[in-house]
Amino acid sequence: MSEEQTLTDLLRRLCDLSVEHAYDPFREFEWPDSLPDQGFWMSAELLSCHGTRHMDALTEQQLWKLSRCELVNFFSFNVHGIRDLMLRVLSCIHNPGFEVPSEYFHHFLDEENKHMWFFAEFCNRYGGKIYLNKSMQFDSFEQEDIQTFLAFAKILISEEISDYYNVYMMQDSTLPPVVQKLNYVHHQDEKRHIAMGRRVVRMLHDDIVGKYPEEVNRRIDSYLRRYMDFFVQSLYNPSAYRDAGLPDPYEWRNNLISDPAREGFHGRVLRKPMRFFRSQDLLQSTA
């Protein structure tokens, strides 16, 4: 069976699954009037200070408050990321080169729109805000095919990392039920998106492999690695630290990001995307 037929079959299955598991987000969730101030909203093990002496220095109340802000930050980051990825997919759908995945892209866009809504709804209802997007959109590569490859690679990386958090929180019964459910529902859809994303990224990489000088390939490699680090570092948000009442939020961020105790967590969060990109020769084996 040809690679294209395999891809076609996969996309057909994903479309069928999307239809079978379609839901109305406006009716799917029960939104309590408020969430408890006592207890965690984000699993303690996912907090950006977990495992460090900085966490040990916080009281239980401070940790609960931090977990509220960090969950809103995580969902906010998803809101902004979804916007960017929807814009990218919209620019590709039914355009040359994307004939095969376009039908599934409709399901993808539908589901991502739902995700954007329910994450934003949570942030606004219980956090009173969506944290700001500090990124600017400008291309780091002139070549359009590289830009497209990197855009979908970044989408895949984002989904893989977010999924780590989703899987963890959906199984944490100490969290508010609505938090568990949001993470669960997102994970169910993202399984399919990741499956699609891996094939599309491979397809787009095939278009650029061998086409450019080694120096360009090294820059692409560097950009992907830095994007993975960037995503992880975005979860250390000084605005969230400020809202949690922590002093010197920027110093807090700098200290946490560079704390050796955080390296293990970063490695776990990045393991799946790194493994995929290396196994497909999308990243060099050594940094």
Residues found near other proteins in the complex (CB under 8 A)? 132-140, 223, 226-227, 230, 233-234, 238-239, 242, 250, 253
Pick 51 or 238: Cβ nearer other proteins: 238
Q: Closest distance between other proteins and the C-beta of residue 17, in Å?
A: 33
Q: Which residues of 151-164 are buried (b: 16+ CB within 10 A; e: fewer)?
A: bbbbbbbbbbbbbb
Task: Say if CB 165 and CB 186 are below 8 A apart.
Answer: no
Pick 12 or 226: Cβ nearer other proteins: 226
Q: Closest distance between other proteins and the C-beta of residue 156, in Å?
A: 16
Pick 174 or 222: Cβ nearer other proteins: 222
Q: Closest distance between other proteins and the C-beta of residue 275, in Å?
A: 22
Separation CA 259–CA 7 (nearest Å): 42
Pick 26 or 230: Cβ nearer other proteins: 230
Between the alpha carbon of residue 162 and those of residues 81, 255, 284, the distances in Å are: 11, 23, 23
Q: Closest distance between other proteins and the C-beta of residue 7, in Å?
A: 30
Task: Say if CB 198 and CB 205 are below 8 A apart.
Answer: no
Pick 153 or 178: Cβ nearer other proteins: 153
Separation CA 3–CA 8 (nearest Å): 9
Pick 23 or 230: Cβ nearer other proteins: 230
Q: Closest distance between other proteins and the C-beta of residue 137, in Å?
A: 7
Q: Closest distance between other proteins and the C-beta of residue 60, in Å?
A: 28
Task: Say if CB 83 and CB 117 are below 8 A apart.
Answer: no
Q: Closest distance between other proteins and the C-beta of residue 268, in Å?
A: 22
List, in order, residues 6 or more apart from 203 with CB less than 8 Å away.
7
Pick 162 or 237: Cβ nearer other proteins: 237
Please spell the DSSP secondary structure of 9-28, one letter per residue: HHHHHHHHHHHHT---HHHH
Rounded to 10 degrees, the C-alpha dihedral 284/99/110/144 comes to: 50
Q: Closest distance between other proteins and the C-beta of residue 216, in Å?
A: 13
Question: Which long-range contacts link 200-206 to residues 24+ away (Cβ below 8 Å)?
Answer: 200/101, 200/152, 201/149, 201/152, 201/153, 201/156, 201/280, 201/282, 202/280, 202/282, 203/7, 204/145, 204/148, 204/149, 204/152, 204/153, 205/149, 205/280, 205/282
Separation CA 280–CA 208 (nearest Å): 14
Pick 52 or 239: Cβ nearer other proteins: 239
